[in-house]
């Protein structure tokens, strides 16, 4: 039987980060991708959604280590006592070092250290949902995209109409091109759930995203 994955989007924080609450429709097992809320009223709305739908939160996944995607980790962990997963290369951005960065950027809260360090090809399971980890560095060293069977969560790598910044510490324009090439190999019907902005598809981005179109031509 096909597993349906329920996906709820909450744009959160000053940078309108897309926080996704994803759950298995059969077991209610749930993951939060990128809890970028650093004030309690925003967190409360999402926690309420989890309670109201009898969801069972199993873990937090960060697509990468930037504070607009990780600043709510602590609020989630304090309430639900769940582990945090992030790619090896961005794990150092959490914990004590991350605290300095988050304060520097004016965020109210920060993240505890990572519990699970992800690598390319790993699978993250909750209930019957399986997300495959694809390492897509470029925006940050440890950026990942998470692949479902008909969808991909791209963090700050691929957006509708544009791509993530590559002028930050830890960014690499060369890696970004390789990562976009990997994403361009996905089936066109794949729904793209980016880290900011509207939801799109791989096919739509191949048609209309000038940064995505230009990859794979050299
Ligand atoms: Zn970012
Ligand atoms: Zn971001």
Share of the chain above pLDDT 70, in %: 96
**CA 47 – ligand 2 centroid, Å:** 21
Q: What is the whole-number distance in angstroms between the Cα of residue 118 and the centre of ligand 1?
A: 17
Indicate if the pLDDT at residue 2 is higher than 70.
Answer: no
Cα distance between residue 44 and residue 47, in whole Å: 5
- pLDDT over threshold 70, residue 216: no
- The confidence score (pLDDT) of residue 215 equals 67
Nearest ligand by distance to the CA of 69:
2
Cross-strand partners of 200: 192
For residue 80, how far is the Cα from the chain centroid? Answer: 19
pLDDT over 70 (residue 218): no
What is 51-106 written as a DSSP string? Answer: HHTT-EEEEEE-SS--HHHHTTHHHHHHHH---EEEEGGGGGGSHHHHHHHHHHTT
Q: Residue 59 above 60 pLDDT? A: yes
**The pairing of beta strand 200-201 with beta strand 191-194:** antiparallel
Beta-bridge partner residues of 56: 29
The mean pLDDT value of the chain amounts to 94
Cα of 167 vs centre of ligand 1, distance in Å, is 11
Mean pLDDT of the 55-62 span: 98
Q: Of the ligands numbered here, which is closest to the C-alpha atom of 165? A: 1
Q: Span 19-47, mean pLDDT?
A: 95
Q: What is the DSSP string of 155-168?
A: ETTB-SSSB----S
Q: What is the pTM of this model?
A: 0.95
Instruction: Pick the ligand that lies closest to the CA of residue 18.
Output: 2
Using the mean position of ligand 1's atoms as its centre, give its distance from the Cα of residue 169 in Å.
11
Is residue 100 over pLDDT 90? no
Calculate mean pLDDT across residues 120-141.
98
- Indicate whether 112 pLDDT > 80: yes
Rounded to the nearest whole angstrom, what is the distance from the C-alpha of residue 187 to the centroid of ligand 2?
25
């Amino acid at each position: 039987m096909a597993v349906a994955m329920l996906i709820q989007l909450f744009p959160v924080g000053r940078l309108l980060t897309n926080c996704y609450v994803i759950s298995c429709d059969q077991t209610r097992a749930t993951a939060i991708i990128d809890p970028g809320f650093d004030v309690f009223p925003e967190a409360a709305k999402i926690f309420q959604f989890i309670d109201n739908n009898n969801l069972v939160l199993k873990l937090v996944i960060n697509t990468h280590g930037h504070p607009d995607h990780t600043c709510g980790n602590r609020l989630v962990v304090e309430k639900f006592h769940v582990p945090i997963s992030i790619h090896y290369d961005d794990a150092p951005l959490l914990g004590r070092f991350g605290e300095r960065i988050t304060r520097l950027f004016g965020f109210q809260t920060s993240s505890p250290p990572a519990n699970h360090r992800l690598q390319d090809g790993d699978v993250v399971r909750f209930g019957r949902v399986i997300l495959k980890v694809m390492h897509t560095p470029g925006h940050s060293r440890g950026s990942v995209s998470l692949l479902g069977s008909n969808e991909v969560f791209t963090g700050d790598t691929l957006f509708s109409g544009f791509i993530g910044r590559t002028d930050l510490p830890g960014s690499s324009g060369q890696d970004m091109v390789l990562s976009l090439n990997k994403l361009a190999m996905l089936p066109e019907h794949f729904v793209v759930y980016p880290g900011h902005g509207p939801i799109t598809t791989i096919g739509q981005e191949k048609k209309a995203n000038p940064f995505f179109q230009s990859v794979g031509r050299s």
